[in-house]
Amino acid sequence: MYKILFFCGVFTCCLSAAIAQTGAIKEKIYHPDSLHSAHKAVIRSLVLPGWGQAYNHRAWKAPLIYGGLSILVINTIHNQQYYREYLTLSRYRNDGPPKKGDPYYAEYIRYSSPENYVSDGILASARENARRNRDICIIGILGVWGIQAIDAYIDAKMIHSYTVDNNLSLKITPGILNQRLYAQGGSAFSFVPCIKVVSIF
């Protein structure tokens, strides 16, 4: 008896809330920025990283972009220096010892001494590791450049298509949820009261 009265009360509340809000619901209104161009954002990002984000009013992303690019550029320079050094030392090992004043002369003497001797195999492995790391960093630079251009395009497209204004609100209404058969657990009622929360733009 109490369950029937409870469900009748919930149903009455839902019906009254639905009737009260029938005339209060406004049609969704979007205010797109038709002057904001995704094409301009992409071109600016490709010309100068972070420019497209500044065009999209997301300038806070620029330090992140330049931080990542700076790390990759520094690693590229260091690995290129190591690659050039190991390549030159390998050539000295194959073509003959360098003369005093030649590039990496001190390194050749140090790595050829009995105390710090480095074999040709280890030298070749270090050279290839430096080359591979340099190439990975270059690919990373191109990847970050491309990703930030895609990010600028997506932001600009959203600004062009949708603008969320002060009409954003929440609608909370009581409702009834229909249970699936396996969740009823032998209950005589297949409906459960619930609360619906809907965002309205």
pLDDT in tens, the chain (201 residues): 444 545 555 555 555 555 445 544 454 555 556 677 888 999 999 999 999 999 998 899 999 999 999 999 999 999 999 999 999 988 888 888 888 888 888 888 888 888 888 888 888 899 999 999 999 999 999 999 999 999 999 988 887 666 555 555 667 777 776 666 555 555 555 666 777 776 655
Residues 91 and 127 reside in one and the same domain: yes
Do 91 and 126 share a structural domain? Answer: yes
For the chain, what is the domain count?
A: 2
Does 173 lie in the same domain as 116? no
DSSP reduced 3-state for 191: strand
Domain with 22, as residue range(s), is 1-31+165-201
Is the Cβ–Cβ distance between 194 and 175 less than 8 Å? yes
End-to-end CA gap in the chain: 42
Shared-domain flag, residues 54 and 78: yes
Q: For helices 120-161 and 61-95, what crossing angle results, to 10°? A: 160
Nearest to 175 by CA among 194, 154, 158, 155: 194
- Same domain? For 115 and 136 the reply is yes
- Mark whether 85 and 120 lie in a shared domain: yes
**Do 115 and 199 share a structural domain?**
no
Do 47 and 24 fall into the same domain? Answer: no
Q: Which two tokens stand for residue 152?
A: 């600028």
The answer to whether residues 157 and 169 belong to one domain is no
73 contacts 142 by C-beta, under 8 angstroms: no
If residue 136 lies in a helix (H) or strand (E), which one and from where to where? helix 120-161
Model confidence pTM above 0.85: no
